[in-house]
Chains A and B, each alone.
Chain A
Amino acid sequence: MSDEPREIEAEVVHRDEPAPRPRRRIGRRAAPEDAPPLPPGTSLEGVDTHGDLLVDDREPATVDAREDRFAERQVSALFILATLAVIGFIVAYLTISQQHNYGQYMNYALGGTLGLALLGIGAGMVVWAKKLMPHEKAIQEREPFHSPEEDELLTEDTFLQGVEDMGLGRYKLLRRTLLGALGVLPLPALLLLRDLGPLPHDGLIKTGWKKGLRLVDIDTRVPVKLGDLEIGSIQTVMPEGFSTVNEFALAPTILIRFAPGQIKSAKEANWGAQNHVAYSKICSHAGCPISLYEQQDHHLLCPCHQSTFQMDQDAKVIFGPAARPLSQLQISLDSEGYFVARGDYKQPVGPSFWERR
């Protein structure tokens, strides 16, 4: 074996000359001394040896016939295991009920047998390659990464000649009109995208709340009246008559009941009714529905990015990435004692956007 690369004379093949049939030398049991130091490609005159091997040293994987037989059986055992696993898969598919334990048993059985089958084949192949195939060390010359300089020049010249023939340098008017025509061509494509969606006008600000609409529970749709909430508790409400939450995605609102005198901001208390206040549930940061309320210190925490709002002080931000307080919904009580909105939110709800003042 030699570590040094050997030079090979490479010649161009002429396709019309009949290429000699390559000598067959694949034999998994070739002894090292029998193996030619160079592949037969070198002895084939007229065949393109470009990319052929320089050195191809091989040793038989096993010398002992018993070891050889044992390895063959090992690989075969893995392939048999794979076959059995496939049979297991079929049996499991046909016999196990999908309803059993939410389909978990079926999933275990199908996945387990499929995994075994695949692993059996895969492991069999790897053991086969390692134990039964000749161990080889092949050396190959790396081809140059770039073409000979004259070749590069010729290609560049060919391209430039094409440019010259087209006259892109000479015909200025042609060039400019072509650029102009190609420049406006994307406009139809852009227009075709126009109907992907409406333009963002007041949809950014309107939430679906209107003057006089009752506050109804988001799940039961039951209107909320004075006395439904315990002191210190919260409830998620929607405008009465909403179709689905997702169609009124900016409307979810949190109704909080404070103990008398707990609200520190006069504006907050004025916008509320009977120690109840209503704030948008949609976080002013990234739009997650805020859901964690700490009763003791009146913190409302967004579970997504942990923005925290001080609910007895105009929902001001006390921690986290939110930049603005939550918007407050003005509410009052109607004649029957139900909470109603006094109008839509005064401030846009949810995350900030460019058009927001």
Chain B
Amino acid sequence: MSSGPEKATRTTLRYVDDRLGSAGFLRRSFNKVFPDHWSFMLGEIALYSFVILLLTGTYLTLFFHASSREVIYNGSYQELRGVSMTDAYASTLHISFDVRGGLLMRQIHHWAALLFVSSICVHLFRVFFTGAFRKPRTLNWHIGVGLLVLSILEGFAGYSLPDDLLSGTGVRIAYSIIEGVPVVGTYIAYFLFGGQYPGQDIISRLFIIHVLLIPGILLALIAAHMMILWHQKHTDFPGPGKTEHVVVGTKFYPTFFLKTNGFLFIIFGVLALLGAFATINPVWLYGPYNAGQVSAGSQPDWYIGFLDGAVRLTPNWETHIFHHTISWNLIIPGLIIPGIMFTLLAMYPSIEAWITKDRAYHNLLQRPRDVPVRTALGVMSITFYAILLAAGGNDIFATTFHLSIQAEIWVLRVAAIVLPPIMFKITKRICLGLQHHDQGLLTHGIETGIIRRLPSGEYIEVEEPLDPESAAVLASQLGVEVPVHGHHAELTAGPEPTPPPVQTGSRAGASGKPATMLARAHKKLENFFFVDGHGTEPASEDDEPRTLSRP
């Protein structure tokens, strides 16, 4: 059978292969197996939001004027006619009211930006709580954290461009934080803004940062992220037939290809509907930026909210030394807190690997309950972040629920310090409880609620064993062997459950106590991770570090 389309396909593929030798690569790509789980689509949402951002953003650049030149508005929006404003703001009004479909593109762009950052965060949670960041995927974790930071900066630069009253206030605060940096702050602020705030240059500079500089880096990093993913193959949850050495799922072509393209269209469709029916960032209501005005209840986009909240929560500390001023009230929340947060986030895989001495390859994911300390650390961090975010909206809460702002700030200040450790404890306990429950299921089976009396007079509850498939899944998740039911045997530990070997030699003193401070810290952290015995990933032996990929 050599019909028209088939012949054309073969001719095309032959043409390419004759020049690139691509047949093997293409076939392997078509046959690439992708595991199936809903949580693996979170990264896809981020990727497709980015595609939609590029499409809508390019359209917007055709009409937007990144200029601080003062103009008198004369467009169709009656309420602002005759008002003096920057060309940036006037062209945003022009896009919204005089370009047909311009408002739609603006709103899709803004919604897509919110979805982009949101899906990156949720994707990050998935990767964190399932341990997908472990070796060999550490590099992709670092790239991912870079993408998160850049996407936040990109969003901030983007929503500042219309030069409206709301975003201008955000830029003012950013300027103040930069100005507050010791020694070089005022110089950086002056160079960035071309002089005293607000100056004439910031809009055009933010524009090139927003449409060229950061998107270029994002594009390169996303390409690297995808290529590494493609090369390393996807992780998967444990299950029957799933091992560290194989990947089980559907082939990239045609099933996955069709589904994922359908998903792209669905995301675009949902964003189009949001852009149509859910008004976002109505800059015409805020008015043009004016250094003498502010709108009450001004809120940034949600992903900047945690910074705004940190600025609100930090006490009014300021140090005066040698005729100089250090504005702790700006640089702690604006630079130090986010700096520590993102550094810890980026370093986490290395920190965990260092503590657990786990240098093995991992393709199978863990459930959050199976790694209580990591899960608890994650929940603790999210709690801290959520408190900052809540503080960013404290005036909204205060007016909605008639609370005192002062009381609210103090409650949140205390909560930011006290609540994360409490959440750590609670989460760890819940994880251990769930593990215990799973082990019960495995050794005893499901409780039926049926009570029987034995001839000896003893009462027992009838327990129904798990079906073998579920038992196998559960056992592999817990890292134990499937027990023979009915024996009520203690669970035999799976591969390498032993706690990591105590370091001896130069790092340990004669008494067996670690000698150096680093070694002592390591010991403490190790206990922290392993203190409940059944917890984290068992560490692999040091002398055989890379066993998993060598069957």
> Are A48 and B24 closer than 8 Å at their CB atoms?
yes
> Are A323 and B317 closer than 8 Å at their CB atoms?
yes
Contacts of B249 in A (CB 8 A): 137-138
B461 at the interface (CB under 8 A from A): no
Contacts of B173 in A (CB 8 A): 286-288, 304
Q: What is the CB-to-nearest-CB distance from B135 to chain A, in angstroms, rounded to a whole number?
A: 8
> Are A126 and B266 closer than 8 Å at their CB atoms?
yes
Q: What is the CB-to-nearest-CB distance from B206 to chain A, in angstroms, rounded to a whole number?
A: 13
> Are A321 and B312 closer than 8 Å at their CB atoms?
yes
> Are B549 and A351 closer than 8 Å at their CB atoms?
no
Interface size class of A (residues with CB under 8 A): 35 or more
Contacts of B76 in A (CB 8 A): 98-99
A70 at the interface (CB under 8 A from B): no
Contacts of A47 in B (CB 8 A): 24
> Are B23 and A19 closer than 8 Å at their CB atoms?
yes
> Are B251 and A138 closer than 8 Å at their CB atoms?
yes
> Are A139 and B248 closer than 8 Å at their CB atoms?
yes
Please name the 4 residue pairs, one residue from A and one from B, whose CB atoms are nearest each other, closest first.
A111-B276, A122-B265, A125-B262, A3-B241
Contacts of B289 in A (CB 8 A): 246
> Are B316 and A321 closer than 8 Å at their CB atoms?
yes
> Are A356 and B325 closer than 8 Å at their CB atoms?
yes
Q: What is the CB-to-nearest-CB distance from B260 to chain A, in angstroms, rounded to a whole number?
A: 9
Say what secondary structure dominates the interface of chain A.
loop
Cross-chain pairs A/B with CB under 8 angstroms, 23 sampled: A51-B31, A93-B100, A106-B103, A111-B273, A122-B264, A129-B258, A133-B254, A140-B32, A142-B363, A143-B549, A200-B189, A200-B190, A246-B290, A282-B291, A287-B173, A289-B291, A290-B294, A292-B296, A306-B405, A352-B180, A352-B327, A354-B186, A356-B324
> Are B196 and A249 closer than 8 Å at their CB atoms?
yes
CA distance A89 to B180 in the complex (A): 51
B197 at the interface (CB under 8 A from A): yes
> Are B265 and A119 closer than 8 Å at their CB atoms?
yes
Partner of B266 from the list A15, A108, A119 (CB cut-off 8 Å) is A119
Interface size counted on chain B using CB atoms at 8 A: 119
Contact with B along A47-65 (1 / 0, CB 8 A): 1101111101000000000
B424 at the interface (CB under 8 A from A): no
> Are B251 and A53 closer than 8 Å at their CB atoms?
yes
Contact with A along B317-344 (1 / 0, CB 8 A): 1101001111101100000000000000
> Are B294 and A353 closer than 8 Å at their CB atoms?
no
Contacts of B197 in A (CB 8 A): 249, 287
A103 at the interface (CB under 8 A from B): yes
B199 at the interface (CB under 8 A from A): yes
A170 at the interface (CB under 8 A from B): no
CA distance A111 to B172 in the complex (A): 34
CA distance A12 to B179 in the complex (A): 62
> Are B277 and A112 closer than 8 Å at their CB atoms?
yes
> Are A197 and B191 closer than 8 Å at their CB atoms?
yes
Partner of A103 from the list B97, B172, B246, B327 (CB cut-off 8 Å) is B97
Q: Which of A250-292 contact B (CB under 8 A)?
A: 250, 252, 281-282, 285-292
B255 at the interface (CB under 8 A from A): yes
Contact with B along A96-124 (1 / 0, CB 8 A): 00110011001110111011111111111
CA distance A303 to B405 in the complex (A): 11
Q: What is the CB-to-nearest-CB distance from B62 to chain A, in angstroms, rounded to a whole number?
A: 17
Q: What is the CB-to-nearest-CB distance from A235 to chain B, in angstroms, rounded to a whole number?
A: 12
CA distance A303 to B240 in the complex (A): 58
> Are A354 and B31 closer than 8 Å at their CB atoms?
no
CA distance A15 to B17 in the complex (A): 12
> Are B245 and A5 closer than 8 Å at their CB atoms?
yes
Contacts of B318 in A (CB 8 A): 323-324, 352
Partner of A198 from the list B190, B315, B324 (CB cut-off 8 Å) is B190
B460 at the interface (CB under 8 A from A): no
> Are B186 and A204 closer than 8 Å at their CB atoms?
yes
> Are A118 and B266 closer than 8 Å at their CB atoms?
yes
Minimal Cβ-Cβ distance residue in A for B257: A129
B270 at the interface (CB under 8 A from A): yes
B533 at the interface (CB under 8 A from A): no
| Other A-B pairs beyond A115-B273, A138-B31, 9, CB < 8 Å | A5-B245, A99-B76, A103-B103, A107-B103, A125-B258, A196-B201, A197-B190, A304-B169, A351-B179
Contacts of B243 in A (CB 8 A): 5
CA distance A146 to B361 in the complex (A): 10
A180 at the interface (CB under 8 A from B): no
Contacts of A22 in B (CB 8 A): 27
> Are B77 and A102 closer than 8 Å at their CB atoms?
yes
A218 at the interface (CB under 8 A from B): yes
Contact with B along A238-253 (1 / 0, CB 8 A): 1000001110111010
> Are A122 and B263 closer than 8 Å at their CB atoms?
yes
Contacts of B196 in A (CB 8 A): 200, 203-204, 249-250
CA distance A92 to B454 in the complex (A): 78
> Are A236 and B262 closer than 8 Å at their CB atoms?
no
Interface residues of B (CB under 8 A from A): 21, 23-24, 27-28, 31-33, 70, 76-77, 84, 96-98, 100-101, 103-104, 107-108, 136, 169, 172-173, 175-177, 179-187, 189-199, 201, 232-233, 240-241, 243-251, 254-255, 258-259, 261-273, 275-277, 289-298, 308, 311-318, 320, 323-327, 329-330, 361, 363, 394-395, 405-406, 409, 546, 549-550
Contacts of B277 in A (CB 8 A): 108, 111-112
Q: What is the CB-to-nearest-CB distance from B102 to chain A, in angstroms, rounded to a whole number?
A: 8
CA distance A136 to B34 in the complex (A): 11
> Are A198 and B195 closer than 8 Å at their CB atoms?
yes
A173 at the interface (CB under 8 A from B): no
Contacts of B406 in A (CB 8 A): 319
CA distance A238 to B292 in the complex (A): 9
Q: What is the CB-to-nearest-CB distance from B338 to chain A, in angstroms, rounded to a whole number?
A: 16
CA distance A305 to B388 in the complex (A): 13
CA distance A238 to B43 in the complex (A): 51
Minimal Cβ-Cβ distance residue in A for B36: A137
> Are A136 and B250 closer than 8 Å at their CB atoms?
yes
Contacts of A93 in B (CB 8 A): 100-101
Contacts of A87 in B (CB 8 A): none
Minimal Cβ-Cβ distance residue in A for B258: A129
Q: What is the CB-to-nearest-CB distance from A223 to chain B, in angstroms, rounded to a whole number?
A: 17
CA distance A62 to B546 in the complex (A): 45
Contacts of B176 in A (CB 8 A): 285-287, 350-351
Q: What is the CB-to-nearest-CB distance from B445 to chain A, in angstroms, rounded to a whole number?
A: 23
CA distance A294 to B317 in the complex (A): 25
A68 at the interface (CB under 8 A from B): no
> Are B31 and A252 closer than 8 Å at their CB atoms?
no
> Are A107 and B290 closer than 8 Å at their CB atoms?
no
Contacts of B182 in A (CB 8 A): 354
A317 at the interface (CB under 8 A from B): yes
Q: What is the CB-to-nearest-CB distance from A239 to chain B, in angstroms, rounded to a whole number?
A: 12
> Are A321 and B314 closer than 8 Å at their CB atoms?
yes
> Are B269 and A52 closer than 8 Å at their CB atoms?
no
A128 at the interface (CB under 8 A from B): yes
CA distance A236 to B294 in the complex (A): 12
Q: What is the CB-to-nearest-CB distance from A288 to chain B, in angstroms, rounded to a whole number?
A: 5
CA distance A112 to B104 in the complex (A): 10
A182 at the interface (CB under 8 A from B): no
A199 at the interface (CB under 8 A from B): yes
Partner of A291 from the list B21, B103, B258, B294 (CB cut-off 8 Å) is B294
Q: What is the CB-to-nearest-CB distance from B203 to chain A, in angstroms, rounded to a whole number?
A: 11
Contacts of A5 in B (CB 8 A): 243, 245-246
Q: What is the CB-to-nearest-CB distance from B529 to chain A, in angstroms, rounded to a whole number?
A: 24
Contacts of A128 in B (CB 8 A): 258, 262
> Are A118 and B262 closer than 8 Å at their CB atoms?
no
Partner of A249 from the list B198, B201, B294, B312 (CB cut-off 8 Å) is B198
Contacts of B136 in A (CB 8 A): 145
CA distance A115 to B277 in the complex (A): 11
Contacts of A319 in B (CB 8 A): 406, 409
Partner of B185 from the list A48, A51, A285, A353 (CB cut-off 8 Å) is A353
CA distance A342 to B332 in the complex (A): 37
CA distance A99 to B103 in the complex (A): 13
Q: What is the CB-to-nearest-CB distance from B432 to chain A, in angstroms, rounded to a whole number?
A: 31
> Are B241 and A139 closer than 8 Å at their CB atoms?
yes
> Are B276 and A112 closer than 8 Å at their CB atoms?
yes
